[in-house]
Structure 1
Amino acid sequence: MTEGTSNSSVWLTVGATLLILWALMGCASLYMHFAVGPGDGPGATDFDRQLYASLPTWYGVVYIVAVLSGLAGAILLLMRRSAAVVPSAISVVAVLIQFGWMFLATDTIEMKGVWTTYFPAFILAVQLFQLWLVTMAKGRGLLR
């Protein structure tokens, strides 16, 4: 192993580990979404309850796909598998569908304010970072 490969191994391990922890937080959020529901959480408004009750079934499926494919991509990255590219890309697409629909097809921004888009934008940024990291690692021959 060369010095460059050793350094690459460290930052790739750290990055993949942080992405796995991030994805596990996503799993906790996913669980809460289905177990409690955003409409029943503390501080939920009538709008939140109505919105949650009106979510189409496919929205939940896309949410599951976004979280679990992100987790799978991060785990595969930690395992140094080039197969990490596909689930990482699927996660980005699912996040775009999930939040794109939420903000374009509902009046969430009008009712709750533009600040409600900040955390979803951060989620998208993390998933784009994961896709970039996986793609870059594959391009440098760090994945098999």
Structure 2
Amino acid sequence: MGYVRQEAPFWFKVTVVALLIWALAGCYACAQQWRLGAEALGTPSGYDRALFARLPTWYDLVYAFAVGSGLLGALALVSRAKLARPLYALSILGIVVQFGWLFTATDIVAVKGALAVIPFPILILATAIGGFVISGRARRRGWIR
């Protein structure tokens, strides 16, 4: 007998759409940073310009990897594919590398203050972890295959 996919609940469908919109916004922000550099912040300070000027090339690649794998994870959830979970794991890895380096190799926290720079990366990481957890739950419940 073949595998029968279970109908996903409404909350799951809404969450998947929200994760997709979040991922698209992340990809847009990444593209803007690649295109504009510090100017993507609006009116950057002298510190922001100097920070962006000294970011290593691999930093932008890790950023693209993190948001790209997050977008692919969200698209996998939309298409109800089990590949969503490993894609979210890759996104989490990219986020940890990206912000881990930023917070340990630069003086951004000392200059701007922890409350100014740490909450949004925590939200980004929490959202990726949420996608990872939800994709696992969806797999166990038969909502994705």
* TM-score with structure 1 setting the length: 0.91
Larger helix fraction of residues: 1
Cα distance, 1:26 vs structure 2 = 0.5
Equivalents in 2 of 1:13, 1:68: separation in Å?
21
Q: Identity of paired residues, percent?
A: 37
Q: Report if aligned partners of 1:16, 1:77 keep a CA contact under 8 Å in 2.
A: yes
Q: Report if aligned partners of 1:39, 1:45 keep a CA contact under 8 Å in 2.
A: no
**1:119 maps to which residue?**
120
Q: Which has the higher contact order (CA 8 A, sep 6+)?
A: 2
Cα distance, 1:107 vs structure 2 = 0.4
**2:133 maps to which residue?**
132
Deviation track 1:49-101 (CA, whole Å, cap 9, x = no partner) reads: 11101111110110001001000001101111101111111001100110111
Equivalents in 1 of 2:134, 2:122: separation in Å?
18
Aligned residues: 139
**2:80 maps to which residue?**
80
Find out whether 1:13 has 2:10 as its counterpart: no
* TM-score with structure 2 setting the length: 0.90
Q: Report if aligned partners of 1:92, 1:127 keep a CA contact under 8 Å in 2.
A: yes
Q: Report if aligned partners of 2:26, 2:67 keep a CA contact under 8 Å in 1.
A: yes
Q: Report if aligned partners of 2:85, 2:131 keep a CA contact under 8 Å in 1.
A: no
- Written as runs of structure 1 = structure 2, the 5 A alignment for 1:52-91 is 52-91=52-91
Equivalents in 2 of 1:138, 1:11: separation in Å?
15
